Chains A and B, each alone.
Chain A
C-alpha cells in the first residue's frame, strides 16, 4: 500500500523496524530542535510509528530514504498533513552523516512529483520551523516561495513555503 519510488541515487521505500535506530539518534540530537523537537527514545518511537501510520489515515506519508548504492538509511522525506498543520506539505529530514550531498533535494523532488502526478495535488507547501535556515534554503532551491507565517501553540511558528504549481514546473 506504500509505494516504492526511485531516483538516480535513492530509493524511497516504506519504513522498516531497523530504520528506528538512526531515526531515534536523529531525534536525540540537537539537530531535531527545529524539526519537531528533541525526543526521548520512547517519544521517538511514537513519532516513528505515527509517520508510518499517517499513510493509512491520510493515504500518503513519509518514505524512508535509502542510498541505492549502499542501502544506507538517509532520513525521511514525504507528504505530511497532521491535524492542525497549515497545509499539506512536502517534508524532509536527513541524518547527520548523510547531510550536504543533496539527498533531501533529490528525494523531495521525487515526492513532489508523486504528489502532483500520482495524487493530483493542485499545490504543495513546506512548513518549516522559524529559524531552520538550512530547510528554508532547500525550500528556495526547490523553487518554493514564502507564503505566510503559521503560529503554533508552544512551538516555533511555521514559515509556510509554497512550491511551484504543477503547471509552473512543466513550463
Chain B
C-alpha cells in the first residue's frame, strides 16, 4: 500500500525491518540534532515504525530512499504530517552514506511529483530549522521561496519554504 517510486539512481520504497540499523545510527548521530534528535535507540524505533503508521493513517508519508542498484537505505524523504504540524510538509533526511551526491534533491523531486501528480495537491511546503543551512540550500535548489516563519510550541521558530506550484516547478 506504500507505492514505490523510482528515479535514475534511487528507489523510494516502504520501510523494512532491515532498514532500522541505518535509521537508528542516523537518529543517534549529531546529524539528527536539526531534525528533532539525537535519539535513543528506543526512541529511534518509535520514530522508525511511525513512518509506516502515518501511511496507514493518512494515505501518504515518507519513504526509505534506497540505492536502486543495491537497495541499501540512504535516507528518509517524503510527506511528513505529524499531529502538531499545521499542514503536511515535504521532508528530507539523508543518512551519512547518502550525503553529498544530490540524492536528497533527486528523491525530493520524485516525492513532490507524487504529491502534485498522484495526490493532486496544489500547494506544498517544507519546514526548515533556521540553523540547517544545508537544508535551506536544498530548498532553494528545489525552487522554494521563503514563506515566513512557523512558531512551533516546542521546537520554536521554523522557516517555511514554499514549493513552486504544480506546473511551475523547475
Q: How many A-B residue pairs have CB under 8 A?
A: 87
- Whether A83 pairs with B42 at a CB distance below 8 angstroms is yes
Whether the pair B52, A53 counts as a contact (CB closer than 8 A) is: yes
Closest A residue, CB atoms, query B15: A57
Q: How far is the CB of A151 from chain B (nearest CB, A)?
A: 13
The reply to whether B82 and A45 form a contact with Cβ atoms under 8 Å apart is: yes
Interface residues of A, count at CB 8 A: 29
**Chain B residues touching A, range:** 20 to 34
Contact A42 B82 (CB under 8 A): yes
Interface string of A1-23 (1 = CB under 8 A from B): 10000000000001101001000
Q: Which 9 A-B pairs have the closest CB atoms?
A: A49-B53, A53-B53, A45-B83, A52-B53, A53-B52, A49-B50, A53-B49, A42-B84, A56-B52
A interface residues with partner B (beta carbon < 8 Å): 1, 14-15, 17, 20, 24, 40-42, 44-58, 82-84, 153-154
8 new A-B contacts, CB < 8 A, other than A49-B50, A49-B54, are A45-B83, A47-B50, A48-B53, A50-B50, A56-B14, A56-B56, A57-B16, A82-B49
